[in-house]
Amino acid sequence: MGCSRKERVFMALLGIAAASGLTMLILILVKATDVFLPADTKFGIVFDAGSSHTSLFVYQWPANKEKDTGVVSQALTCQIEGPGIASYTSDPTQAGESLKGCLEEALALIPQTQHQETPTFLGATAGMRLLSQKNSSQARDILTAVSQTLSNSPVDFWGAKVLTGQDEGAFGWITINYVLGMLLKYSSGQWILPEERTLVGALDLGGASTQISFVPQGPILDQSTQATFRLYGANYSIYTHSYLCFGRDQALTRLLAELAQNSSAALVRHPCYHSGYQATLPLAPLRESPCVHTTDSLNLTQNLTVEGIGNPGECVAALRRLFNFSSCKDQEDCAFNGVYQPPVHGQFYVEASYPGQERWLRDYCASGMYILVLLLEGYKFSEETWPSIQFQKQAGGMDIGWTLGYMLNLTGMIPAEALTQWRAQSYSIWMAGVVSAVLTLVAILGAAAVQLFWTQD
């Protein structure tokens, strides 16, 4: 039986409504795919070649937001087995070989199609700075070895470099302020630069050096301690200084040498080691450190018996002798060893690494005491400013050392952080409007169909 005219009109209008709704649904799905499907991700690799060990960091960011909207996150951290690369003076090729394990782990994470476009860097810090001073040819051989290993790997290797102390401090400052969102924020529908008072300072205690970087309240009077940046269209001027030989490991090595030199026999009673500790230690390694300056009275060929006495007062007194506090002569703008420093200002984040091996347990008390002397008497933190210090290894799920700031600086990629949120909000508004339009159109066509159905003869 054939359809009546009413039925044909009704079916035609319903077909138009359905087609219109389907078209809008397809548009919604296409837009949803554009917003919600994972975008291609880019990666960067940075080796932190420190004095006591080397770490590898893999960073990632959305490829379609590079340069202006990408949010950089930390995808992998890998601790390389063995000592720092500066220890491989007798066999530099092993410095390069030591990197392969963590590099393979990074390459397993990064899609193979992106290996050749992954920028890779190696930055060496105070351990290699010390070696460069002691024996520049050995330092060059080690850098050549690690460069050869990384050049032969399927990555975009940008080179190996010994960072200056100022660079290390400055890149650490960039990292922590980037991670905390202090360099740029998205608020009330627009990009804003946070007020300068919200910027935080960076304190870093490594094995061979320590760095302090912050924005002082007043002008920086010594230009050699000033670092300037232009980030997100804003200019920044920070105070930064690095103290070589004042990292944890070198400070404790210097302490042992000082105690041994003042001892009348081959027995040292160590005030910072716990009572009951006793060990026989070779003195020859002291000769290898450029930070140790000994006199002829100390026979470096002999072994030394070290006994712990656990005396906090004597421990602090011995640690204070590692600093030259008298050189500042009560000057307000001076830290120690005659180094200019404006008064500390603002919040500070400290990154200090603590070796977890049992053989380092003897040094925990000495390390803690050393940090107190460095912060209170060296950097001049007081009872009032002490609460402004936060001791953290990570912030926002990312390590707060120099590596992220180094990569962002070298790639010229200091990206913004919140445009993805703006896109999601805009998409929600757009989709709500489309859905409303679809429902309205369907309702109109449906009403028209019903009206025609009842009014047609």
Residue 306 has phi, psi (to 5 degrees) of -115, 125
Give the Cα separation of 86 and 214 in Å (integer).
Answer: 29
Among 414, 432, 416, 413, residue whose Cα is nearest residue 424: 432
Q: Are 253 and 300 in contact (CB under 8 A)?
A: no
Amino acid at residue number 114: Q
The bridge status of strand 348-352 relative to strand 389-391 is: parallel
Q: Residues with catalytic annotation? A: 168
Question: Measuring CA to CA, which residue among 158, 170, 162 is closest to residue 85?
Answer: 162
**Do residues 130 and 51 touch, judged by C-beta distance below 8 A?**
yes
**At a CB cut-off of 8 Å and minimum separation 6, what does 359 contact?**
none
User: Of 368, 367, 246, 258, which Cα lies nearest the Cα of 304?
Assistant: 258
Q: Is the dihedral of CA 123, 213, 347, 422 positive or negative?
A: negative
User: Within 13 Å and on the Cβ side, how many CA atoms surround 178?
Assistant: 29
* Residue (of 17, 156, 161) closest to 85 by Cα position: 161
What end-to-end distance do the CA atoms of the chain give, in Å?
18
Residue 391 CA neighbour count, 13 Å, CB half: 10
E strand or H helix at 213:
strand 209-214
DSSP 8-state secondary structure symbol assigned to residue 358: G
CA dihedral 102, 107, 108, 114 (to 10 degrees): 160
* Residue 319 identity: L
How far is residue 341's CA from residue 334's CA, in Å, rounded to a whole number? Answer: 5
Question: How buried is residue 359: exposed, middle or buried, by Cβ count under 10 Å (0-12/13-18/19+)?
Answer: exposed
Among residues 47, 86, 52, 48, the alpha carbon closest in space to that of 250 is found at 52
